Structure 1
Amino acid sequence: MADFQSLVQRLEKVTVRLEDITAKGGVLTSHEAGKDESLECFDFLLEGPICLYVKLSHEIGGDVAHHADMVKATFFAERAFLETASNFQKPSDVALSSLLKPVSDGMAQAQAFREKNRSSKFFNHLSAVSESISALAWVTMTPKPGPYVKEMTDAAMFYTNRVLKDYKDTDKKHVEWVKALLAMWTKLQDYIKEHHTTGLVWNKSGKLYSAPCRPPGPCPPPPPLPPPCSFSQQPQADSPSSQSALLAEINQGQGIATGLKHVSNDMKTHKNPALRQSTAPNLAGAKPYGSKAVSPPAASNKSAPAKRPAPVLELSGKKWRVEYHENNNKLLIDETELKQVVYIYNCNSCTVHIKGKINSITVDSCKKLALVFENVVGIVDVINSKSLQVQVTGMVPTISINKTDGCQVFLNQASLGCEIVSAKSSEMNISIPDGNDLKEYPVPEQFKTVWKGSKFVTEPTEITG
């Protein structure tokens, strides 16, 4: 019945459009037709896949429902942006940034919600959405916004696979939720391929856009300065006169001890046990100096180091798990499929060889790891690791390096078009074929940002010498 009502609503919209065409004498310009078709298709996306995702999220409830409301609001903000693009020429960068602010704020809010709720029992749900919501930034991507959405969808699959593993045998509603989330991004990609193949289409013959002006009137006063610091409560020893007196005493040199009283041997407790007992009656029977009983040390608050879990190399659903291996150079995954992903976690001094074509690879919290793979259709993601070697023998579109120190990437001739994205990382180098040898190029770690009159421009710096 719900599907039938949705179909009726769509037919009513079509009827209204036909009446408008008739009122205009049956003529509709090609631009108007294209504009209406593009927005209408996006509305179908809102009413179909996105509506289903929100509906299932509310059936699950809790943090998932609240998160879905943020996603829905961000989609509607993007719909308003698309409507602006269909009516106006492309504005300046400053105006464009202002137009995109509701969308970027919505994405940031959804991602921040995940970070604030790491203890949530639905953390995998929140992470799947947080990792993929950046797909809404396709409006800024050229010339391949569709593949960008695909990359963001692939980034969510690690967490959606976790949701499927946790709930596939207990609650099918979560399985349907995963399908709805992934379908939402897939349908968005289809929409982009049809209407914005090489980038967001602006109305070249539309009106010039000007950002809304601030209402007239005087500028608001600046915020009041904080009250001056008060030193009235400082100790007297910190006053200039006290400090001078203290320095004068210190500068006496050897004379500083002239005012001290001499202590004879009969007044020293460590040489006179009887005196020690008389001056400390509560310690009667105490042993002479030097043989003092030592109380046992207090129990340490530090717990014993956790036992390292057993190594894992298994296929769980569509995900290969390679976890907790040490000093193993024979880790091999050769029975692969395109829909599978590989997750390598907490492996030290190991070599992992992956054959065939798979969806994506994630390397998390590993040290001294060598990864060799053939073909990846999505992304190879390296995070929180040290001293890695990553070698591709086939093709890969993107390699992401985050929070990693020491990463050597080896590309072959077929994978020279690979994009290397890095953040918060150091000691990164890329080696490419050079005849029968390899040529190594460092990845910049330091950048400079300068004002260019209308915007800031950030460029890598080259350190010489």
Structure 2
Amino acid sequence: MGASSAAAPTAQPRDNGRLQEHRQYMAESVAKTCVLWARELEIMATELASLVNRLETAVARLEKVGLSAPAGGSPAAPAGGAPEPAQQEEDCTVPFVLAYDDLLSGPFKAFLDTSNQIGGDVAAIAKMVQETFINQRAFLVMASKSQRPLDSELPQVLEPTGKKVQEVIAFRESKRQSPFFNHLSAVSESIPGLSWVAVSPAPAPYVKEMGDSAVFYTNRVLKEYKDKDKVHVEWVQHWNNVFKELQQYVKTHHTTGLSWNTRGGNAMSNLKAAPANCGVPPPPPPGIPPPPPMVPLVPKAVAAEDDGRAALFASINKGTDITAGLKKVDRNAPRLPPGVWTPQTVRDDQKTHKNPSLREGPKPFVKQTETAPVRAPTRESPERPPKFALEGKKWFIEYQKDKPSLVVDNAKMDQSVYIFKCQNIVVQVKGKVNSVILDSCKKSAVVFDNLVSSAEVVNCQSCKVQVMGIMPTITIEKTDGCHVYLSKQSLNTEIITAKSSEMNILIPKEDGEFVECPVPEQFKTVIKGHSLVTTCTEKAG
């Protein structure tokens, strides 16, 4: 009794300790669960607030569409002046126009605000860029309710946007002495990207290319103001964001080209009339067409061969009853005399023990001669219309054939010439240009006066390049057959070649003739220590 009474008090504290630990564990679990619930409620509240904001924005737009045009006519302008820019824009609920509005109210507004903070010429060119973007918005509204115009009418439809772009470029050219010339140049180099509305079938890469063309000048701005004024650094970031968002917008809503309304009206009339509202979006396409009428199922007539096969299988399936129809042979029946032949008689030439050739097995398998695989006819890419135009700072000469007298007049020092997929042509460039590029051409030639940077010949066959003045560098890549005619002023030209053959440099002599010097194509490389030494080799003979 004494031992048991002593052990009881010891067990009771242990049970109390376990109970406390259990209670503490339960309390911690409840606390963790409450924290998780609180986080989930916070996330749900945030998402709900976002949805409410989007719903309020959509309702405001719908109300604006319903109230912007009174029954009596167009909305009146405020007293004492012209209507505000927001009132000049046409209201539209087409998705790609609303997405463009988000671009204007987001990245572009940040760029505009930063430009106004800098002031001066930057604010002035930003105002012109704003007018260009607003003009393009009006063009998108017109496209949302118009069919694609004819090719002859397309330049007239694109003319307003083109004029705005040229105004921005002209402003930069007139401000070469401005302290913000790098800012103006960055905008001027990128603004031709708004011509994506005329590019097909992939306008998004064109927008990216135009946005990247301003990197040279934006880097200058960053280098100059990085440690002086952070506003200019933000200005560069906002301008880059504008074209990044524009590229994403074009890629999402105009993947293969500008989206026109296949059920809309005439683009020229809509462009001239310019009504206040674009109306409701185009009606959705009709639903799924009804299924075709049911064709009565007529049982197919069974051929005679099928009847024979069916009878054969039916007789086989009889089992032991298959012999029930056979006649028994009477042993006492008279036999036919020898030599008498009946259809049932087996001849000697049909007996295997008298004719060894019948005991031969089947002939071995002989592999048939394989016929040459028939190749599918190669599909040639459709011929594209020739192009000869100046877009921004670049001359485009594309898909020209059999034209020996193409001339680029009044070329400027900041312009470049790009010749692409031409055949049997001769291009003459008058004036000093930045660069000349010959890409994927055959039996073509280009003659130019002076270059600022370099000439390039890429993926060409049997092409010729002639410089009349100065050419610092020429690059020849992946080309078979290239003749380069130098002048006396360009004897210091650097020649860079890669993956090319049949290259000849023609150097002028005093009497006006040329000395033809081939460019080496074969090289020898030896190992010396831990490096390689490469020298040219000449073929014997």
Give the TM bin, normalised by the shorter chain. 0.3 to 0.5
TM-score by length of structure 2 reads 0.38
TM-score by length of structure 1 reads 0.44
Larger radius of gyration: 2
